[in-house]
Copies of this chain bind each other. A is one copy, B any other.
């Protein structure tokens, strides 16, 4: 029987709030068994860019990562944020190890091809980009990998990469070795029938239920991409995807999505 593995993704909101982040990391450190953490960027990098007088580059409403922006993003994601998370987890007796995709070639993607827009130093990855054997070695040593949202292309380029995508690819790639639960921690307590009412939480969704909710127009537009992504991940072999607020890590307030 395969061992369990829990993969957690946290995003901007919590990373920008040091008290909430600390509480989350304390809860995360108490989770028993194999686990991985992936963290997005937060607004800190934008603040540094602003302080350094680097204007955000946008083309057709999409952010472009030029070389100078990349340098700040690397320093903030792989440096400040990643190392502070790792040091805090160590203080809670969780044996964390911070990683970018370049480290031990953990995630080797490609620089996004230039079509209509040149997004600059942005990485595209798939589950095949993930060095599962390396991650497996760490997990077997009771080490908790902590990934920032930076990958590389194997040609010396570091690449800014979407943290949700990294989480999905890591979860999918390890599904052959482990029974994987993928947890997306975000600013809601889960999927709500009424986005303004936490009492309307839907605790469980499977593909049948998803069809029903869609046909009844119950799901808020903003949640549809998250649910589509969840079912893609599940169809790639991941056992379940859980949508939850980071404060609810160790209770049952969440939406559990299964096949």
Contact = CB atoms under 8 A, between A and B. Distances in A.
Contacts of A108: 90
Interface residues of A, number: 40
A157 B87 CA distance: 6
A103 B152 CA distance: 20
Contacts of A141: 134, 137
Of the listed residues A96, A157, A158, the one surrounded by the most CB atoms of chain B closer than 10 A to its CB is: A158
A79 interface: yes
B79 A80 contact: yes
A83 to B, nearest CB: 5
B100 A158 contact: no
A137 to B, nearest CB: 6
Contacts of A184: none
A154 interface: yes
A208 B86 CA distance: 46
A42 to B, nearest CB: 13
Interface stretch (A2-10, A70-78, A249-257): A70-78
27 contacts: A48-B52, A51-B51, A52-B52, A74-B79, A74-B83, A74-B84, A75-B76, A78-B78, A78-B79, A79-B80, A79-B82, A83-B100, A83-B102, A83-B158, A86-B102, A86-B103, A87-B156, A87-B157, A88-B156, A90-B102, A90-B156, A95-B104, A95-B105, A96-B102, A98-B103, A104-B143, A137-B137
